[in-house]
Amino acid sequence: MTKLKYILQLADTALILGHRLSEWTGHGPILEQDMALTNIALDLVGQARSLYQHAAEVEGKGRTEDDLAYLRTTTDFLNPLIVEIPNGNFGDTIARQFFFDVYNHTFYTELQKSKDATLSAIAEKSLKEVKYHLRYSSDWMRRLGDGTEESHQKIQTAVDSIWMYTGELTTMNEVEKEMLSEGIGVNLESIKPIWTEKVKAVLAEATLTMPESTWMQSGGKDGKHTEHLGFILAEMQHLQRTHPGATW
Amino acid sequence: MTVKEILSKVCDPEIPVLTIDDLGIIRDIIEQDDQVEVVITPTYSGCPAMNMIEVNIKAALQEHGYQKIKVTTILSPAWTTDWLTESGKQKLKAYGIAPPIGSVEKADLLGEQNIECPQCNSTNTEMLSQFGSTACKSLFRCKDCLEPFDYFKCH
């Protein structure tokens, strides 16, 4: 069912990035940044829950939000690769977050028009939270880029190495094309130029160079992942796998 | 006591000075025969207090003899701090949390401005972090009395 796949794609994206950011708990460079990254993680996991609940309802086979998060394997996950790549240093995390937030903000703005009332409601709700995320990651891009020689060099390296994962965000797969034609999904082609403009503007303010490479990694949205996702799922799912049905 | 009166005594588990009525998260109360349905909306998607609030709503109603209770969550229209009651704002301040100032539109346009220190009332304050100890708060510092404080941000 295409609609189920589409919702799972959105849910997996929020959950995996939320999980990645939660790895910063207790490891942030300073307390405020520790709290900021984990606050964003909490928002994303919350959004993932709403999306998984909707997916479970659409599927209608008795699976719950927990089943969908904890009992699917790597090839079942449909998130783009950018959200599963490791946190790296603080700059790597910020660059990944910034590229994603620009996309996510534009995406949810458009998803509010979805013919699916629940998706539209989730978009409206999430957008208010993503607004803070985008402000935060954009601020840090400027601060690190326009900061010291070392911070500039590190964030430029992060931008350059994560760049190849950004293309997948705004390239449509078959599921997304079908959902667009039904008025449920978002037109990523129309998001692409907006994304590029916004990224370009912040990178310029941050005195950073926008990479020119056009070769992009892809496959995550169709279930083909980097080796990193398996390790995330191993950690995230091990309790449910070891003690099936365990609850608080 | 009416259902509304019972619910007006249920508190937010994370900011216990506020009731769920003060927060403006009760969107509807539907009483039909012996069943009561309470419609609530989350403040933030990931707010861990929401599950607790649902449990507390059920417990409060059961205490008053209601048996068939349903708590439904809706997401739209999305919760906004514009729904916080005036008395809620005053309670926040007395508790040491600066209440949201002005409307969400204004905060979006101009940023968070002139946030008043809940200790000394000075507006000579600065934001330390837009993310605080819970999703709904930012961290501020008063430049006059030097106290750090939470600000319940416009949302």
Per-residue tens of pLDDT for chain B, all 155 residues: 899 999 999 999 989 999 999 999 999 999 999 899 999 999 999 988 888 999 999 999 999 999 999 999 999 999 999 999 999 999 999 999 999 987 777 777 667 778 999 999 999 999 988 898 888 999 999 999 999 999 998 88
Q: What is the rounded distance in angstroms from the CA atom of residue B151 to the CA atom of residue A153?
A: 35
Number of domains in chain A: 1
Q: Chain B 74-103, CB below 8 Å of chain A: which residues?
A: 74-80
Q: Which residue positions in chain A have pLDDT lower than 50?
A: none
**Calpha distance A129→A145 (Å, rounded):** 25
The CATH number covering residue A73 comes to: 1.20.1260.10
Chain B residues in contact with A136 by the CB 8 A cut-off are 130-131
* A156 domain-assigned: yes
Chain A residues at the B interface, defined by Cβ less than 8 Å, are 32-33, 35-36, 39-40, 42-47, 49-50, 117-118, 120-122, 124-126, 128-129, 131-132, 135-136
Tokens of A68: 């969908």
SS (H, E, C) chain A: CHHHHHHHHHHHHHHHHHHHHHCCCCCCCCHHHHHHHHHHHHHHHHHHHHHHHHHHHHHCCCCCHHHHHHCCCHHHCCCCHHHCCCCCCHHHHHHHHHHHHHHHHHHHHHHCCCCCHHHHHHHHHHHHHHHHHHHHHHHHHHHHHCCCHHHHHHHHHHHHHHHHHCHHHHCCCHHHHHHHHCCCCCCHHHHHHHHHHHHHHHHHHCCCCCCCCCCCCCCHHHCCCCCHHHHHHHHHHHHHHHCCCCCC
- The residue behind tokens 């008063």 is B142
Range of the domain at A122: 2-242
Query: How many beta-carbon pairs below 8 A join chains A and B?
Result: 69
Q: Do B129 and A129 touch (CB under 8 A)?
A: no
Nearest to A97 by CA among A128, A39, A127, A141: A141
Cα–Cα distance between B106 and B72 in angstroms, integer? 31
Residue A148 lies in a domain: yes
Give the tens place of pLDDT for each residue, A38-78.
999 999 999 999 999 999 999 999 999 999 999 999 999 99
Residue A248 lies in a domain: no
Query: How many angstroms away from the CA of B44 is the closest CA of chain A?
Result: 7
How far A120 CA sits from the closest chain B CA (Å)? 9
* Domain membership flag for residue A247: no
Write the CB contacts of B85 (distance below 8 Å, at least 6 apart in sequence): B21, B22, B24
Domains of chain B, each with CATH number or no CATH: 3-73 (3.30.300.130), 81-152 (no CATH)
Looking at residue B62, the DSSP 8-state letter turns out to be H
Residue A187 lies in a domain: yes
